[in-house]
Structure 1
Amino acid sequence: MASTFAGIEIGKRSLMAHTQQISTAGHNISNADTEGYSRQRVQIKTMDPLYRADLSRAETPGQLGQGSCIESITRLRDELLDQRIVAQGNQESYWETREKYYSMIEDIYNEPDEISVRGNMDKYWQGWQELSMYPESQAARQAIVTRGESLAESIQQRFKSLSGVGSLINGDIEGSVRQVNDIAKQIASINSEIVKSKAVGDNPNDLMDRRDVLVEKLSKLANITSDNRDSDEFMVHLDGHILVQGHLARGFDVEPVTDNSGYSKVVWNDTGADAHISGGSLGALIELRDVDIRNEIQSLNTMTMNFADLVNDVHRNAVGANNVTGIDFFSQQPFVTDASGNYDRNGDGTNDSSYVFRFTGTNRLNPQEKVGLDGEMVLSGKNGNVTVPYHATDTIEEVIARINDSDGEVKAYLDRNSRLVLKATTAANAENPDFVIRHIEDSGLFLTGYSGILSMTGPEGAYDFARADAVSSLRQDAQFAVSPVQNPAAYISVNQEIKTDVLSVAAAYPVRGRALSGDGRAAVEIASIRNTYVMIGKDRTFDDYFANSVTNVGLKGEQAETNYLSQNAVMNDLRGLRDSISGVNIDEELADIIKFQHGYNAAAKFVSVMDSLLDTVINRLGV
């Protein structure tokens, strides 16, 4: 038969079980507002019965119940839902970050009309139109100089504003990297504590909640996934690479980029390899800095460089009221002082590259004339070279359009003398220099004898910037211009000679070295640049540039805002569903406490009854 005191033991276990249930409910209530806390429940099971194999009669039970016991204390979580929140969280923070910074970029472009780059450029063109009508006017010349200075200052201000946003983003990147490293270390430390706790049979619910909170925070910084298939080795992956494995955590460092931008790149601190981070706020910051801001600055630099180059090309060939010629209107700063553009790119003390921005052919071309030639041009492109074919039935205009519509980083147009001009654009790949023609080759005669740029056909006559004196591949009388210093938008200014003497502003073309009275041909030509197809990057005119730049920023800002609101709505639904499962409901916990209290009272009454029975047996039998 069972022990006489078995009832007391059953009652004790019941009291302990209900006490733990009441304590757990109180723990839930006290953590109702704790970030990431999951409500816990006490799992009760029946105590293993006593087996009495020697009692074989049917009237005698073979197993004697021993009441209840606490099996475990578990937290209520939906692991699949948690994984979805982690996977989706990086998109919400990605678009939130882009939306925030595009608001800043939009503010840069939303300048008041009277001080905007577009407004100042319109006034600048108007100044040249006025000078073309009154070529003898000193006041008109002064207006051009003043408006030119205002335009240069507004361009510089836009560059400073964009660069300022880039520097701000770079600071956020460095801060986010430190945050990722800190969270990864905390997760690894908690993993170690969880393993120790599980090793002795405990359920470290609060530690796992803390880890889940950290994982969710990390998912907002980068595109991560977590893997808990091996309960002893919780892992976090970032874009396919292990970031945390059990008690070990990897991290990142930031190193300065070698392009004089002042920016930092993110590398793995154990291997030194470049880290490629997508998604999350960190991925958005890197993309904003290295793609969006870089593209906006490159676009501004392209417009500035071509604008100054085109105005200077006309102005230096024209003559001012003081009969001075050969002066650039805007100051240009060549990247190298060598007249042939030779440059020591690898820093070993020997020139090994040629930095040339523009080629101009020697022959006059008719845009409507058919070339009568077949061949292929090979031009430097975003990733390697691109091939541009031409055929005998193509007109000059069609060949130029084909060059400009290709993915090559070389653009073409006919200048005021109907000569073919090839210009370098900014480079899509950060490893390539901006405004440097890297490769020009022609299998036929279009770039050689027809337009007069290259001296020979085929690979042996190709121009390639990866050698010194590469301009030797050009025709002897072909013109070229050395590449400018990086970021021409940062230093564009009116030539000091012109500011000192406004009569140097050229409105006429020289006749026997002098300006004829009433000649405003040069002023007309400069004013006409405004609506001439001059191919500034992918934009064909300056008006196209301003229209496209504002539209591009506005649409990207709208896209970021729309996607953020969409992702935020999705995440709110997921968080609401998780709260319905794991969140603490005060009313529900209070109801449970009352239920457990009644159970405790019943168990206490049972113990009291058993105590009374034992008292009768022990103290009163036989009296």
Structure 2
Amino acid sequence: MANAFAGIELGKRSIMAHSQQIQTAGHNISNADTEGYSRQRVQVKTFDPLYRPDLTRAETPGQIGQGTTIESITRLRDEMLDQRIVAQSNNESYWATREQYYTMIEQVYNEPNDVSVRTNMDKFWQSWQELSVYPESKAARQAVVTRADSLTQSISGRYNSLAGIGTLLNGDIEATVKQVNDYAKQIADLNGEIVRSKAMGDNPNDLMDRRDLLVEKLSGLVEITSDRRDSDEFMVHVGGQVFVQGSVARGFDLVAQTDNNGYDKVVWKDTALDADIKSGKLGALIELRDSDIRNEIQSLNTMAVNFADLVNDVHRAGIGANNETGLDFFVQHPFVTDTKGNYDRNGDGEVDTSYIFRFSGKNALNPQEKVGLDGVMTLSGHSGNITVPYFANDTVEAVIARINDSQGEVKAYLDRENKLVLKAGASESMENPDFVLRHVEDSGLFLAGYSGILNGSGAENAYDFARADAVDSLAGEYSVAPVMNPSGYIAVSEKIKNDPNSVATGFPNGQGRASIGDARAAVEIASIRNTDVMIGTSRTFDDYFAETVTNAGLKGEQAENMLLSQNAIMDDLRNFRDSISGVNIDEELADIIKFQHGYNAAAKYVSVIDQMLDTIINRLGV
């Protein structure tokens, strides 16, 4: 049977329960502004009754209640909603990062503006047109030199700005990798503490809040998934691979890449294998550096090297007012000093590769003439070699168009003497050098006897850069590949700068001297502006500027629109989570008042029981 003091114990349990509820409400209020905090609630239940039906008990009309007890203190959290937020966070940070950096890229292009590369290029062509009208004018020659100098400086300035963004991205990648590793270590440490706390029968709400906050922050940096193998082991995966398992974190490492401007490659720290990170802030940074910025610089390099090469080609054939000829207008720096382009690529002391930028055929071709030949050309492509067929009824210009429209990294056109020219473009793969022809082969005679580029047809007469003296396969002229990033060093030659009379306006006459009023060279250089010169995927220089500026603007617009969309999605999810887990001050204050009344009532109950016991003990029988 219940003893006389059971009421005191029942009242004590009620006081303790209400006291804990008041304390928890106060804890919620004090953490109302704490990031990642989830409001907590005290779960109470009735205490076990005095008599249980499976035990021998006194005959009573029912079980005798013993008050209340605290079952647990839990946090209000929707795990399914948390997983949705983690799954979406990487997209939001991905587009935020791209939007931030494309704002910088758009500022580099500075279009439309009076000091942009395109404006300076237009002024450069205009100066040649003016010189073609006044070939004896020294002022017109000086204008050509001055505007060419302004153009080369603006091209170099754009390259330096883009390269600066690349360096900034590389530094941001290094900092983000450190942050990712730090979050992973903190999550692993918290996993250990949570497991130990649960083993003692506790419910570590605040520790789990901190872990969930770190997981959400980590999801903004890389795309992750989280799960529990059992009730205790918490795991985080990145790209389908385990990143954190229990109290163990793997982490990433950085390795410098010699074939990518010395930039760092992200690898797994324990295996040194490449880490495939496609989303989140880190994925956006890697994509921006290794794809977007690299493509922008390659596009600028392609324009610069072809621009200098085409102008120099005409200018070397021309003659200046001082009767000097054979001069390059722009400085060109060959990648190697070897006249055959031989280079020791693997660093073993023996030349093993040929770095050649351009082939020129020996024979002048008529673009409208049918080739009368069948065959298949094999050219280097983005990934391996590609084939380009030609047929007897094809015209020369149709075959050239087919080469340019293929997925190869070789471009073709007819030069000023209508000789076929093959040029190397920028390489899509980092493993391959830019502006280096890697493979040219013809099963027939279009590249051999017809155009005069190769010495013969078939694989045995093919040009392949992966050997020394590969130019022995060529029948025509060639030029060595330029030093890396020609847009960074392009400049007007010092000879031209020091003596504007060296600017070629015409071509040498029969005596090898300049003829008065001859402006044929100036006209030919000016006409390059609208000539199909195939700089990358662009056919003319104007096409190049239109495409590059449009491309940067569209990608910036895409990043901005996608960021706004992701922000709206995340705002809805976070607001929904706040409605469940967030602390409402008014609600907590109302709960405190309710718990306070319960506490007062329990205290009053204890006082009444105390008075009853006092009556029994001190007054009964008196």
TM-score, normalised relative to structure 1: 0.97
Contact 1:53–1:62 (8 Å) recurs in 2 = no
Q: Which runs of 5+ in 2 are unaligned?
A: none
Tell me if the contact between 2:111 and 2:549 (Cα under 8 Å) persists in the aligned partners: no
Give the SS at the match of 1:114: coil
- Paired amino acid for 1:498: I
Deviations 1:548-598 (A, max 9, x none): 111111111100111001101110111000000000001111111111112
Partner of 2:273: 273
* Aligned match of 1:492: 490
Aligned counterparts of 1:328 and 1:621: Cα–Cα separation in 2: 125
Distance change (3 Å), C-alpha of 1:479 and 1:589? same
Are 1:17 and 2:17 matched, yes or no? yes
Report the counterpart of residue 455 of structure 1 in structure 2. 455
- Give the drift of 1:231: 2.8
Q: Which amino acid aligns with 2:493?
A: N
Is the Cα–Cα contact under 8 Å of residues 56 and 62 in structure 1 kept in the other structure? no
Question: Counterpart in 1 of 2:481?
Answer: 483
Query: Partners in 1 of 2:57 and 2:154 — Cα distance?
Result: 103
Distance 1:385 1:100, change over 3 A: same
**SS class of match (1:557):** helix
- Is 2:619 aligned against 1:608? no
| Cα distance, 1:146 vs structure 2 | 1.1
Q: Which residue is 1:566 aligned to? A: 565
- The alignment partner of 1:113 has SS state of coil
Matched residues, percent identical?
72
Give the match's secondary structure for 1:316.
helix
Confirm or deny: 8 A CA contact 2:10 2:66 kept in the other structure.
Answer: yes
The residue aligned with 1:51 is: 52
| Cα 1:552–1:77 shift into 2, 3 Å | same
Return the offset for 1:111. Answer: 5.2
What SS is found at the alignment partner of 2:306? helix
Which amino acid in structure 1 is aligned with residue 490 of structure 2? I
Aligned to 1:143: 143
| Contact preservation (8 Å) 2:335, 2:482 | yes
Secondary structure at 1:332's aligned position in 2?
Answer: coil
Q: Point out the more displaced range, 245-254 or 297-306.
A: 245-254
Q: Give 1:112 deviation, angstroms.
A: 6.5
Structure-2 separation of matches of 1:53 and 1:479: 105
**Which secondary structure does the structure 2 equivalent of 1:275 belong to?**
coil
Q: 1:87-142, CA deviations, whole angstroms, 9 ceiling, x for partnerless residues?
A: 10011111111111111111111156332111111111111112212222222111
Determine the structure 2 residue equivalent to 1:236: 236
Q: CA deviation at 1:619?
A: 2.6
Q: Aligned equivalents of 1:260 and 1:85: distance in 2?
A: 35
Q: CA deviation at 1:56?
A: 7.3
- Match for residue 504 of structure 2 among 503, 506, 526: 506
**Aligned-pair distance for 1:54?**
6.6
Partner of 1:526: 525
Letter aligned with residue 496 of structure 2: I
How far apart are the structure 2 equivalents of 1:151 and 1:51?
96
CA distance in 2, matches of 1:184, 1:407: 42
Aligned counterparts of 2:55 and 2:575: Cα–Cα separation in 1: 57
CA distance in 1, matches of 2:303, 2:241: 41
Q: 1:56 and 1:498, CA in 2 relative to 1: closer, same or farther beyond 3 A? A: closer
The residue identity in structure 1 corresponding to 2:479 is A
Amino acid at match of 1:511: N
Partner of 2:109 in structure 1? 109
Q: Counterpart in 2 of 1:252?
A: 252
Higher mean displacement: 258-267 or 157-166: 258-267
1:17-67 per-residue CA deviation (whole Å, 9 max, x = no partner) reads 11111111111011111111000001111222232657678x624643222
Map Cα deviations across residues 342-384 of structure 1 (whole Å, 9 max, x no partner): 0000000000000000011111111111222222111111111
How many angstroms does 1:614 deviate by? 2.2
Secondary structure of the structure 2 residue equivalent to 1:60? coil
The answer to whether the Cα contact below 8 Å between 2:250 and 2:269 also exists between their aligned partners in 1 is: yes
Change in Cα spacing, 1:53 to 1:583, as seen in structure 2 (3 Å) is closer
- Residue in structure 2 matched with residue 370 of structure 1 by the alignment: 370
Amino acid at match of 1:448: A
Q: Which amino acid aligns with 2:569?
A: V
Deviant stretches of 4+, over 4 Å:
52-57
Map Cα deviations across residues 470-506 of structure 1 (whole Å, 9 max, x no partner).
Answer: 111112xx01110000000010111111112221111
The farther-off stretch of 494-503 and 419-428 is 494-503
| Contact 2:28/2:583 (<8 A) preserved | yes
Task: Map 1:269-348; keep pairs closer than 5 Å.
Answer: 269-348=269-348
- The secondary structure found in structure 2 opposite 1:584 is coil
AA at the equivalent of 2:503: V
SS in 2 for 1:72: strand
Residue 109 of structure 2 aligns to which amino acid in structure 1?
A: Y
Give the gaps of 5 or more residues in structure 1.
none
Corresponding position of 2:581: 582
In the TM superposition, what whole-angstrom CA distance separates every residue of 1:159-207 from its partner, at most 9, and x where no partner exists? 1111111111111111111111111111111111101100011110000
Q: 1:56-455 to 2 correspondence within 5 Å? A: 60-61=60-61, 63-110=63-110, 113-259=113-259, 261-455=261-455
Distance in 1, Cα, partners of 2:111 & 2:167: 21
- Is contact 1:51–1:62 with CA below 8 Å preserved after alignment? no
Contact 1:55 1:62 in 2 (8 A): no
- CA separation of 1:376/1:52 partners in 2, compared to 1, >3 Å: closer, same or farther? closer
Q: Does 1:5 align with 2:5?
A: yes
What amino acid does structure 1 have at the position aligned with 2:498? T
Displacement of 1:618: 2.5
